[in-house]
Amino acid sequence: MQVLRSLFADPSTSIYRRWKLFTNFLIIVSCIAISIETVETIAHKYEHYFKLLEYFTVCVFILDYLGNIVYAKERLKYIFSFWGLIDLLSILPTLLQSFNLLGFQSIKLIRTFQVARMIRILKMLHSTIEDAQSSNARTSPIKTNLKIYFTGFFMVTMISSTLMYYVEGGYYTREALEAGQAQLDLETRIKSSDTEVGVPAPVFMPVDALTGNEIPEDKRFFTSIPNTIWWSMLAITGNGDMFPVTLGGRVIASITYFLGLILFGVLINIVGKSIMTNFFIDPSASPQSSKPDLLATLIQQGWIGQHEAEVLSKLPVEEINRRMRIIAKR
């Protein structure tokens, strides 16, 4: 029982960290699989393997969810907490779809369940926050910050591409186009029977429900999540060769561009600290430096003023070096 408690409730143990590393790896693999499933040719060919992976992933997440409940200090508080709800939502879509708990499932509902599984990516955020608060974050801040950055980049990319695929790409999925064309053919036949004049069969054109704008064939970019991931990565970096047409798609794009700016700022901060630490200051070489040289370096970098230099000049060289290392890690 102590092993299980350490596994689910003791972040200081190695078994806890290994379990989190395994679940995070499984989240990445499952999210990539969910993306590939939206490519119809691949999904039909490897459908059996996708299902096996999903069932295995859900079993692991169920075990993780139950373990967190059993070993939580306040069980009800965990169940209704943000992270508890995320853990539940990461398994709920698959359970509802597998056991058909909502009765008959339309194609649109099944598609909603498929993309809703992507919410499990938020489980990675919990581990990232725990890492940021651990002792490793203080001993190796650059490594921790890089982990936070790449986790954020992966999350923004996957979530924005999934939403764009569902919101805008949903207008021109194969099922939506076939249903729209069938409805249009029916209306055309009714008109032909009323007028007794042959009416050419028109081609269905999807229309944005919010703005009424048509979506021409050459603007239908978001046909699968892998296609949309390319757009999302370009949007985060401030570029793009594909643009949404619908109002919902443009809202998602605006939020993605904004998050891209935030991620860029985080990256610049990490790179700046790394450059300052590794190129401008060499803590291992500092003990051989003289006191005037150390103080001159601090003044030159703008970290202290002349008055502070006079105060530090009264301290031993070792103490000045120690303070330089502290400043370099900030």
How confident is residue 80, by pLDDT bands cut at 50, 70 and 90?
very high
Q: 220 and 118 in one domain?
A: no
Residue 141, token pair as written in the block: 């801040």
Is the predicted pLDDT of residue 322 greater than 80, yes or no? no
How confident is residue 327, by pLDDT bands cut at 50, 70 and 90?
low
Least confident of 120-124, 134-138, 313-317: 134-138
How far is Cα 288 from Cα 298, in angstroms, rounded to an integer?
16
What pLDDT digit, counting tens, does each position of 23-38 carry?
A: 999 999 999 999 999 8
Is the predicted pLDDT of residue 319 greater than 80, yes or no? no
Specify the number of domains making up the chain. 3
Q: 192 and 119 in one domain?
A: no
Q: 202 and 192 in one domain?
A: yes
Is the predicted pLDDT of residue 94 greater than 80, yes or no? yes
Q: 140 and 125 in one domain?
A: no
Q: Which long-range contacts (CB under 8 A, 24 or more apart) does 126-132 make?
A: 126/83, 126/86, 127/20, 127/23, 127/24, 128/152, 130/11, 130/20
Q: 306 and 267 in one domain?
A: no
What pLDDT digit, counting tens, does each position of 210-226 carry?
A: 888 889 988 899 999 99
CATH number for position 172: 1.10.287.70
CATH number for position 43: 1.20.120.350
Q: 274 and 287 in one domain?
A: no
Three-state DSSP state, 112:
helix
Q: 146 and 247 in one domain?
A: yes
Q: 172 and 265 in one domain?
A: yes
Q: 211 and 121 in one domain?
A: no
Q: 311 and 189 in one domain?
A: no
User: In terms of residue numbers, what domain contains 238?
Assistant: 135-279
Q: 161 and 58 in one domain?
A: no
Predicted structure pTM score = 0.75
Q: 145 and 125 in one domain?
A: no
Is the predicted pLDDT of residue 266 greater than 50, yes or no? yes
> Exposed, middle or buried, 297 (CB in 10 Å: 0-12/13-18/19+)?
middle
